[in-house]
A and B are shown apart, each in its own frame.
Chain A
Amino acid sequence: MNTFKWKKLGRVFNPADVNGPDWMNEFAQAPSVLVFDKFIRVYFSCRPQPDANGQYVSYSGFVDLNRTNLFDIINISKNPILPLGNLGTFDEFGTYPASVMRSGNKVLVYYGGWTRCESVPFNVAIGLGISNNDGESFEKSGDGPILSYSMNEPFVLSGPKIRMYNNLYYLFYIAGRKWIVSNGRPEPVYKIRMASSQDGINWTKADKDLIESKLEADEAQASPDVFFSEGKYHMFFSYRYSANYRGKEKGYRIGYASSTDMVNWTRDDSKAGIDISEEGWDSEMISYPHVFELDNKTYMFYLGNQVGRHGFGLAQLEGILK
């Protein structure tokens, strides 16, 4: 099979360009799409100004884009879709990233909940929220996470992507493998994992790394976005080096793998068909791909430099995923 061809259409949303609420000051990370008749709702995670200690919290919100012109922003969420958690809970300091899916009249959101730790800066577990108002706001299903740590997934369960295939729920996510100390700072190494469920609440983990590492053993893999097309599961994800990854050379790129059963994946980044630009907002890194289909076209939202600090952009596939 040949390489996919993604045509970059440009940056769609930069929080700095709109006079948004305080909690939407910077960042528009991890786009996730919900399609409506006249618009698409793109969820993303953003941050207010950092606190006096330079620490961020993160919220999730959305923009509605005109279905016939995805560069036409017709609405911006007034409030975060989820409140931060209560004292001591897993999502006290952030709800990021979020992945949404319709379920009957409801909309489900699976999100990473952030807490702060002493020896490492944070830990993450996956929470569940349910919306009865078309995804304007979500109510948490409990104070605790829906997917948490286990023997081989000891910390940092994040980057959930919720899917339903053959009447089963699937969560693709990442799990921390180890913390390495680089330049005096603990940095997490994480790998792509999967769990399945009959009810979306009780999950059975596959308990294996889905994607082999390419750059190095400690390659960090993130945002596993799975799309089914032409009898195959296609996964676009992001990956980076374990250390010094905040610049162009070792920063995030978008990788690709395919599978027929979702358990066994063949990685072939050469097919991904999208890379950093020569210049501009996505010239140093690209990450957090999200593939969706709209009106017979296949698109990808993705993040650019500084992991979405300045928003997300859009690319369109030439042809179909197969």
Chain B
Amino acid sequence: MKWKKLGKIFDPTKYKLSNDCVEFAQSPQTLVLDDFVRIYFSTRKKDANGKYLSHISFIDIDKIFNKIIRVSEKTVIELGELGCFDEHGIFPMHILKDGDKILAYTCGWYRKTSVSVETSVGLAVSLDGGITFKKQGAGPILTSSLHEPFLVGDAFVRQYENTYHMWYIYGTHWLNLPEDTTPARVYKIGHATSDDGISWIKEGKQIITDKLNAQECQALPTVIMFDDVYHMFFCYRQATGFRKNKDRGYRIGYAFSKDLISWTRDDSNVGIDISENDWDSDMMCYPHVFSCDGKVYMLYNGNEFGRLGFGLAVLEK
């Protein structure tokens, strides 16, 4: 594969954002419409204790990704009530056009004490073309289970031959390492299927092999089918030291499958890597691959996990 970088297309510090958010435009996810592309992302505000809350916003951009037409003015989706799985943030929110409905698979965050956070996947529906979303329940549709004990999130859903497929991540360990002040999490990519997009059966295994080591963290799978092959992009990093040390930070990985069952990891064919001295020169993360007007694009975040926005690349084959 070969991707051509088109540069950063959105900088959240240059716009007024809903929910009093400043900075961060993480994990861009698209809804491709007739005349423009709506790109949802997670942005942040600080609560009374100075801790971050992630909120969803969107921009509408023309189909050559040149002109931002609109920035969401109001709350796209409410955070959860007291004690709910999405009380402290939604990040990311993945969109699926399902017939005439627009579904959102949210990754809800809430804070814990011995470890920083727990996540689960929720479901919301939009009845106004994707401007606002209403949750389908106070609780999640996919969460921890016997062998996926925590940190279920980052859902990406597609329907192939009448079956809904979800790729997502789940936690395997919280590492209590002496050099760290807070426990570090390890998570892997999993897969579940569903007849209705609501009730899911987990495959129950890690589907992408580790490359770095057993503590490799894998996140945000995105899948697209072309040339009769399913292509998955995701990001991966070392479990520790990934925030400051460029060599341990997120990179984009790649795997392919012909049957949606077995995946072959082939990062050498990913066709995109960090730049030199640019907005994406320290890390690349949270890829989202989609097609628009016959081309295949990748949205992704760069340095500081998307604090200063997201960029775009186009597939050249």
Question: Interface residues, chain A, CB within 8 Å of chain B?
Answer: 86-90, 92-93, 115-120, 123, 125, 128, 141-146, 148-156, 176, 178-179, 181, 186, 188, 201
Q: Identify the closest chain B residue to A92 (Cβ).
A: B114
Instruction: Given A154-B137, A155-B139, verify A144-B83 contact (CB < 8 Å).
Output: no
CA distance A318 to B150 in the complex (A): 48
Q: Which residues of B lie under 8 Å from residue A90 when comparing CB positions?
A: 144, 149-150
Instruction: Given A90-B150, A120-B82, verify A151-B136 contact (CB < 8 Å).
Output: yes
CA distance A181 to B198 in the complex (A): 31
CA distance A155 to B198 in the complex (A): 18
Q: Which residues of A lie under 8 Å from residue B62 when comparing CB positions?
A: none
Cβ of A155 and Cβ of B148 under 8 Å apart?
no
Q: Identify the closest chain B residue to A118 (Cβ).
A: B111
Cβ of B111 and Cβ of A144 under 8 Å apart?
no
Cβ of A150 and Cβ of B83 under 8 Å apart?
no
B174 sits at the interface (CB 8 A):
yes
**Taking the nearest CB of chain B, how far is it from the CB of A174, in angstroms?**
14
B159 sits at the interface (CB 8 A):
no
- Per-residue A-contact encoding for B121-149, CB less than 8 Å = 1, 0 else: 00100000000000011111101111111
Q: Identify the closest chain A residue to B49 (Cβ).
A: A118
Q: Identify the closest chain A residue to B201 (Cβ).
A: A202
Q: How many residues of chain B get a CB closer than 8 Å to chain A's CBs? A: 38
Cβ of B146 and Cβ of A201 under 8 Å apart?
yes
Q: Identify the closest chain A residue to B84 (Cβ).
A: A154
Q: Identify the closest chain B residue to A144 (Cβ).
A: B149
Question: Among B84, B114, B120, B139, which residue has its beta carbon within 8 angstroms of that of A88?
Answer: B114
CA distance A181 to B83 in the complex (A): 11
Q: Which residues of B lie under 8 Å from residue A93 when comparing CB positions?
A: 114
Cβ of B112 and Cβ of A118 under 8 Å apart?
yes
Cβ of B139 and Cβ of A152 under 8 Å apart?
yes
Instruction: Given A87-B176, A117-B113, A155-B83, verify A148-B144 contact (CB < 8 Å).
Output: yes
Q: Identify the closest chain A residue to B174 (Cβ).
A: A88
Cβ of B141 and Cβ of A86 under 8 Å apart?
no
CA distance A201 to B146 in the complex (A): 9
Cβ of A151 and Cβ of B140 under 8 Å apart?
yes
Instruction: Given A115-B112, A117-B112, A151-B139, verify A128-B146 contact (CB < 8 Å).
Output: yes
Q: Which residues of A lie under 8 Å from residue B120 when comparing CB positions?
A: 149
Q: Which residues of B lie under 8 Å from residue A152 when comparing CB positions?
A: 137-139
**Taking the nearest CB of chain B, how far is it from the CB of A57, in angstroms?**
11
**Taking the nearest CB of chain A, how far is it from the CB of B116, in angstroms?**
9
Query: Which residues in window 168-187 of B have CB below 8 A to A?
Result: 171, 173-174, 176, 183, 185
Cβ of B83 and Cβ of A151 under 8 Å apart?
no
